[in-house]
C-alpha cells in the first residue's frame, strides 16, 4: 500500500503505428475517488485505458501505480498488481452462468484491497443475485455490463478502469450502475471511468478531466464543469 496517490500518469504519449494518439497526458487518482475522463467520440479515452494496461498501443511516459513505475510491465503483471480494467465491449462467457462467470475472475486476495466473493458481489449487484444461474448469453446488455464489472472485482483490484460503463444502458439500469459504482467507492476502490457526456459522470464523480484530440484540456470538479457551459459545448457531447 500506498501514499496518497493510487495512480499517477505523467507525460503519457501513445501511438498506433506512426500515428500519435495521446500527447503528454497527465492525471492522478487517489484512494476512494471516482474520477471521470470525459471527451467526445475519438478523443482518446479508450486509448488512455489501453495505454495504462499496456494493451495494443505503443506508449511512453510515466505511469505509477501505488508509487511504482509500471510503464514497462506487461499487461498481466499490471493487472496482478491490482489495476482492474473493464473494456467497452462486454467480454462475458455466454455459455457460462452468472456465477460461473464470476468464478472465472477469481484471483488471490491482495493486502490492502477488498477481497470479493460472489455473495459479497450480489449485495452490490442485486440483479445479478436474482439471475445467478442464468447463462451470460441470455442476459441484456446492461446485465452483461454489470457482470463484466463484477467479474473484474473478483480479481480484487484496488483501482478499476471503466470504459463507458453507461453506454447503451436503459435509464433504470443506469441508476443501478451508478449505485454499484458508489458502493465500490465506499469499499475504498479508486475508479476512473470514461464518458462522452456529463449526465452519468455527474451522478457519481468527484472530479473530471476532459480529453480532446489526445490532450487534457480541463481538470477540475464537476461543479466547475457545471458552471462553464462554454467548456461543455466545446469539448463534450450534449
Ligand X SMILES: Nc1ncnc2c1ncn2[C@@H]1O[C@H](COP(=O)(O)OP(=O)(O)OP(=O)(O)O)[C@@H](O)[C@H]1O
Compute the least distance from the CB of residue 9 to ligand X, in Å: 15
CA distances (Å), origin 228, targets 6, 26, 130, 222: 29, 22, 42, 10
Residue pair 125/133 in contact (Cβ under 8 Å)? The answer is: no
Residues in 18-57 that interact with ligand X by CB under 6 A: 19, 21, 39, 41-47
Min dist CB 131 to ligand X, Å, is 28
Q: Which is nearer to ligand X, 39 or 105 (CB)?
A: 39
**CB count, 10 Å around CB of 140?**
12
Q: How many residues bind ligand X (CB under 6 A)?
A: 11
CB neighbour list of residue 24: distance below 8 Å, 6 or more residues apart: 11, 12, 13, 61, 215, 216
What DSSP character marks residue 115? P
**Cell representation of residue 236:** 463534450
Closer residue to ligand X (CB): 4 or 41 = 41
State the cell numbers at 180.
454499484
Query: Which region, judged by CB under 6 A, interacts with ligand X, from 13-21, 60-68, 216-224, 226-234?
Result: 13-21
* Distances 43 to 25, 107, 142, 232 between C-alpha atoms, Å: 12, 33, 24, 14
Which of residues 135 and 213 has its CB atom nearest to ligand X in the complex? 213
Q: How far apart are CA 58 and CA 204, in angstroms?
A: 31
Of residues 3, 16, 58, 228, which one binds ligand X by CB under 6 A? 16
Least gap, CB of 19 to ligand X (angstroms) = 6
Nearer to ligand X, 19 or 238 (CB): 19
Distance in Å, CB of 237 to ligand X, minimum: 9
Provide, rounded to whole angstroms, the least separation between the CB of residue 35 and ligand X: 16
- The nearer residue to ligand X, 80 or 215, going by C-beta atoms, is 215
**Which positions touch ligand X (CB under 6 A)?**
16, 19, 21, 39, 41-47
Amino acid at each position: 500500500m500506498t501514499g496518497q496517490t493510487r495512480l499517477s500518469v505523467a507525460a503519457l504519449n501513445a501511438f498506433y503505428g506512426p500515428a500519435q494518439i495521446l500527447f503528454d497526458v497527465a492525471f492522478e487518482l487517489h484512494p476512494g475517488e471516482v474520477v471521470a475522463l470525459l471527451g467526445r467520440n475519438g478523443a482518446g479515452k479508450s486509448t488512455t485505458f489501453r495505454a495504462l494496461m499496456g494493451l495494443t498501443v505503443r506508449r511512453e511516459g510515466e505511469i505509477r501505480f501505488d508509487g511504482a513505475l509500471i510503464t514497462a510491465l506487461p499487461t498481466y503483471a499490471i493487472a496482478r498488481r491490482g489495476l482492474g480494467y473493464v473494456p467497452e465491449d462486454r467480454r462475458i462467457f455466454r455459455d457460462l452462468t452468472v456465477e460461473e462467470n464470476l468464478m472465472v475472475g477469481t484471483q488471490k486476495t491482495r493486502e490492502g484491497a477488498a477481497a470479493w466473493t460472489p455473495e459479497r458481489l450480489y449485495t452490490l449487484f442485486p440483479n445479478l443475485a436474482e439471475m445467478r444461474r442464468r447463462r451470460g448469453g441470455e442476459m441484456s446488455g446492461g446485465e452483461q455490463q454489470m457482470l463484466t464489472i463484477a467479474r473484474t472485482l473478483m480479481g480484487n483490484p484496488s483501482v478499476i478502469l471503466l470504459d463507458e460503463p453507461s453506454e447503451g444502458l436503459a435509464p433504470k439500469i443506469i441508476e443501478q450502475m451508478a449505485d454499484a459504482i458508489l458502493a465500490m467507492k465506499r469499499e475504498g476502490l479508486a475508479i476512473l471511468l470514461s464518458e462522452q457526456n456529463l449526465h452519468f459522470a455527474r451522478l457519481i464523480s468527484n472530479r473530471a478531466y476532459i480529453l480532446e484530440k489526445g490532450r487534457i484540456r480541463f481538470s477540475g470538479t464537476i461543479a466547475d464543469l457545471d458552471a462553464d457551459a462554454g467548456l461543455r459545448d466545446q469539448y463534450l457531447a450534449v
